[in-house]
Structure 1
């Protein structure tokens, strides 16, 4: 991967399980890596781990929903490494107030206890939070860092979509809609930036155990929850993904081997998106 040596890679949400693994891999490929996270200590921890392995990385505090915060982060990265070549938009997530309690609505739910959150109870503020975090939290970093890429060669943006973008999962309409927007935005940007040589693609991870979803998919004992079991039953490979399963596709999309690939969303899902359930 000679084409990646000394490239400057910026990763938002870089303190998380999946994005920290991607950051470490990009470093091993020769990139100088800037880990952006709302929690600076998390970003610095990942950077220290990379440096301990012989890589070059810095941890930078940044809020992907605040333009001034991103501008400040960009200035810090410019001082350390220069302009951005690769942007991975890893910041995202869900919110309980954009989530229903049940997979299907039934007439009796209208008179049910307050413990049930139906479609009619969804909080617009919670839904807005999810859309802002996922969509605006991708759009703003692109506005700030893609400007660095104009006039250079070999620059790429990698967005993080989801299985929800192909077929919405039950109970999480806000997150599903937000990730569908990411896939659509990926296509839009790929066309918009095609004349200046910036490629834009997306990864669509299947089901990986992370800090955000572990309690939804597994019990404290380590056994699967009912939802966890359903997911495994609908994943032909019969397992959750490991963070390392993202790396081959990431490496291909940021490298010269995919130089004629732009505007695509690649499922990395153990066959989940291919399975009809029958």
Structure 2
């Protein structure tokens, strides 16, 4: 178990998409270190499940319904968080995901496979994926950023992807959006450096989540052909576990460990980026 970061005790973290497989574990771990967690999802019920888990473990958390693409709902969420906890120290931009209308059926053009080709992709689905991943990160950073600047050691942590470096086949919108996250992380890091707000990102390797489960597992739970490619290209020969992200999360959140670190995206990928395939 990771030693407690006492420096984080009493701080307030806002986690968008906080009920997701990865972000819920991040929220639970932060709460274990004494951080007060505000879980934001489009529906409060999903977030409440995470809150209940945190409270059962002795932590402090609230669930708030807000849409990262709806400025007014984010403003309302911010005001509720300030009223409840008094301020905000950390923002984790975890909201995102994919959409069937932005996924091609085949990995390369010309493969015969039932479903959408590149030319069949709907621009609305494409825009939705880009917006939920990138524009949502921008809006949340904007709405919560003013309050973050009032904190003693504020930080933003964005969630990127391996696909930001080397775009995965089938998911062009998701890949483009995550590449934008890396660039935006660097832009914000420079923009807010002198104000004391550090901005970094984590790029998880291949983790099983609600969004990618259908692409990576067959109905019987066995690995798909796509999964076998991933495992072959991952030197550690496994998918990541949510717990694999927690050390990097705490390092980047705690300025006593990473006070001179800003503008980076950290791969947590089992060696995927390092492997050339030969």
- Do they superpose with TM above 0.5? yes
CA–CA separation in structure 1 for the residues paired with 2:34 and 2:218:
39
The number of equivalent residue pairs is 273
Q: Residues 33-90 of structure 1, C-alpha deviation per residue, up to 9 Å, x if partnerless?
A: 1011112101111111101100011111110000000011111111110111000000
2:1 matched to 1:2?
no
Helix, strand or coil for the counterpart of 1:273?
A: coil
Partner residue in 1 for 2:273? 273
TM-score (norm 2): 0.96
Cα shift at 1:221: 1.9
| Structure 1: stretches of 5+ with no match in the other structure | none
Q: Report the RMSD for the aligned CA atoms in angstroms.
A: 1.2
Partner residue in 2 for 1:22? 26
CA contact (8 A) 1:151 1:196 kept: no
CA contact (8 A) 1:131 1:174 kept: yes
Helix, strand or coil for the counterpart of 1:202?
A: strand
Q: Which runs of 4+ in 1 moved over 2 A?
A: none
Helix, strand or coil for the counterpart of 2:177?
A: helix
CA–CA separation in structure 2 for the residues paired with 1:152 and 1:85:
6
CA–CA separation in structure 2 for the residues paired with 1:169 and 1:72:
36
2:133 matched to 1:134?
yes
Partner residue in 2 for 1:70? 74
CA–CA separation in structure 2 for the residues paired with 1:82 and 1:228:
45
CA contact (8 A) 1:152 1:197 kept: no
Partner residue in 2 for 1:167? 166
Cα shift at 1:122: 1.6
Cα shift at 1:212: 1.4
Q: Residues 150-201 of structure 1, C-alpha deviation per residue, up to 9 Å, x if partnerless?
A: 2432110000000011111111111100000000000000000001000000
TM-score (norm 1): 0.96
Q: How does 1:193-208 map to 2 (within 5 A)?
A: 193-208=192-207
Helix, strand or coil for the counterpart of 1:178?
A: helix
Cα shift at 1:101: 1.1
Greater Cα offset, 19-28 or 144-153: 144-153
| Structure 2: stretches of 5+ with no match in the other structure | none
Partner residue in 1 for 2:64? 60
CA–CA separation in structure 2 for the residues paired with 1:101 and 1:216:
10
Select the residue among 44, 47, 63 that pairs with 2:48: 44
